[in-house]
Amino acid sequence: MKQNVIEFRNVSKLFGNVAAVIDNNLAVEAGEFLSILGPSGCGKTTSLRMMAGFEQPTSGEVYIRGENVTGVPAFRRPVNMVFQHYALFPHLSVQDNVSYGLRQRRPRPATADVAKAVDEALSMVRLDGYGSRRTYELSGGQQQRVALARALINRPAVLLLDEPLAALDRKLRRDMQVELQNLQRNVGITFLLVTHDQEEALSMSDRVCVMREGRLVQVGTPRELYDKPVNRYVAEFVGKSNFFKAGEAGKVTSVRPELIDVAKSKKALPDGLVTSTEAKVLNRIFLGEQTEYRVASESLGEFAVVTPRKAEREAGAFDIGDRIAVGWRAEAARLLPDE
């Protein structure tokens, strides 16, 4: 088993009467890219802040590299953070921002060594020659990279990223996702990302923790979460899914829209389907690489179906009001607790 760089042992955090984090046993493995995923108010940011040392747990312990750091303030913890709005020091140049962590060390490192480390860090985030700039002269993406360099130059045990891409526009966000992944592989530092964006979590991470109302719901690889969600909440939050009434009380049947077969008539459906029914097309959303249909059947009610472009080429697209046949294989349906 891999060593844990950060470990929560039964950590809870209360703000007044409100529990932000409840009995949490989160563990970050050395060298991995881990994401904490959840909606706002699920306790993911509070968890991150307890790792950084900005908040202390109400009960339980925090371990970093096997050492109990509960109660240790932020400036004595070997982790660094990239803040949501970067928090670059406006009165300092880019290089003074980046070297800030090194300059706090006692004894002070030699000026030449600091300068060399700054150059390396800036080159790592592709900002060579930007050292003497002012931070407010830079674009959002560049500021983001300065924030990364400022944290990574210290070679932290874990790099904590608090929704770092939220402030960037969509195109830039995609680029930064790839860049973050590459950076993590190159520097070999453990990354812990907090996000509410499931696509971001799934595409970048080795493992994802899904949180809900202060508790860990499921931890696993993106594929595990998508294919084997433990309950309705995870299935709903990670990707999209349809939920149908199940025979058992307290359970639902979850079927991913892209796992549903569609055809013009029941006869045209492939063999080996456990469920098949006729349905009417209520709505059609063209998404480019795929098309999403909203359909309704008498036995199942309303649900969503996604067909890839390729299938359309063979069977043609459907129009609103068309009567079609839908069905799925046994392995497409998952019986999940309805919670």
Partner 1 sequence: MRIFIAFIYVFLYAPIALIVGLSFNSGRQAFVWQGFSTEWYGKAFSNPLITEALMTSLMIALSTAFLSAIFGTLLALGLERLKGWLRVLFDILIYTSIMVPGIVIGIATLIAFVSFFDLVNPVLEAAIGWRLQMGAWAVIAAHVLFNIAVVALLVRARLQGMDRSLVEASEDLYATPAGTFVQVVLPLLAPAILAGFLLAFTFSFEDFIIAYFVAGPDVTLPIYVFSSIRRGVTPEINAVGTVVLLSSLLLLIAAQWVLRRGDRTAD
Burial zone of 243 (CB within 10 Å; 0-12 exposed, 13-18 middle, 19+ buried) = middle
**Per-state percent for the chain, helix, strand, coil, to nearest 5:** 30, 35, 35
Round to the nearest angstrom and report the end-to-end CA distance of the chain.
31
Which residues make Cβ contacts (< 8 Å) with residue 110, sequence separation at least 6?
none
Q: What are the CA-CA distances from residue 162 to residues 174, 263, 321 (Å)?
A: 17, 45, 46
- B/e letters for 288-323, b = 16+ CB within 10 Å, e = fewer, are eebbbbbbebeebeebbbbbeeebeeeeeebeeeee
Between 157 and 202, name the residue whose CB sits nearer to partner 1.
Answer: 157
Does position 194 bind partner 1 by CB under 8 A?
A: no
One symbol per residue from 26 to 55: x for binding partner 1 (CB under 8 A), - otherwise; what is it? --------------------------xxx-
Between 74 and 317, name the residue whose CB sits nearer to partner 1.
Answer: 74
Site stretch for partner 1 (CB under 8 A), options 27-35, 88-96, 120-128, 247-255 = 88-96
List the structure tokens of 186. 């190159």
Which residues make Cβ contacts (< 8 Å) with residue 85, sequence separation at least 6?
167
Q: Rounded to the nearest 5°, which phi and psi values hold at 199?
A: -65, -40
User: Shortest approach of partner 1 to residue 156 CB, angstroms?
Assistant: 9
Task: Determine the size of the site formed for partner 1 (CB under 8 A).
Answer: 26
Site stretch for partner 1 (CB under 8 A), options 20-28, 84-92, 165-173, 259-267 = 84-92
Q: Which of 1, 136, 247, 289 binds partner 1 (CB under 8 A)?
A: 136
User: Shortest approach of partner 1 to residue 88 CB, angstroms?
Assistant: 8
Between 104 and 265, name the residue whose CB sits nearer to partner 1.
Answer: 104
User: Shortest approach of partner 1 to residue 250 CB, angstroms?
Assistant: 43
Does position 89 bind partner 1 by CB under 8 A?
A: yes
One symbol per residue from 226 to 265: x for binding partner 1 (CB under 8 A), - otherwise; what is it? ----------------------------------------
Which residues in this chain contact partner 1 in the complex, by CB under 8 A?
52-54, 73-76, 79-81, 83-85, 87-91, 100-101, 104-105, 136, 150-151, 154
